[in-house]
Amino acid sequence: MNIDVVEIQRILPHRHPFLLIDRVVALSPKVSIEAYKNVTIGEPIFQGHFPGHPIYPGVMILEGMAQAGGVLAFKSMDMTEAEAANKVVYFMSIDGAKFRAPVKPGDKLVYRMNVVKQKGAIWVLEGKAFVDEKLVSEAQLKAMIVEK
Q: Is the peptide bond before 18 cis (omega within 30 degrees of 0)?
A: no
* Half-sphere exposure for 34 (CA within 13 Å, toward CB): 9
- 14, 16, 49, 53: the active-site residue: 49
81 CB neighbour count, 10 Å cutoff = 9
Name residue 129's amino acid. A
**Residue 96 to residues 29, 37, 109, 139, 141, Cα–Cα distance (Å):** 24, 22, 19, 5, 9
Residues 6+ apart with CB under 8 A from 56: 39, 45, 46, 49, 102, 103, 104, 105, 107, 109
80 CB neighbour count, 10 Å cutoff = 7
| Residue 53: active-site member | no
**Catalytic center residues:** 49
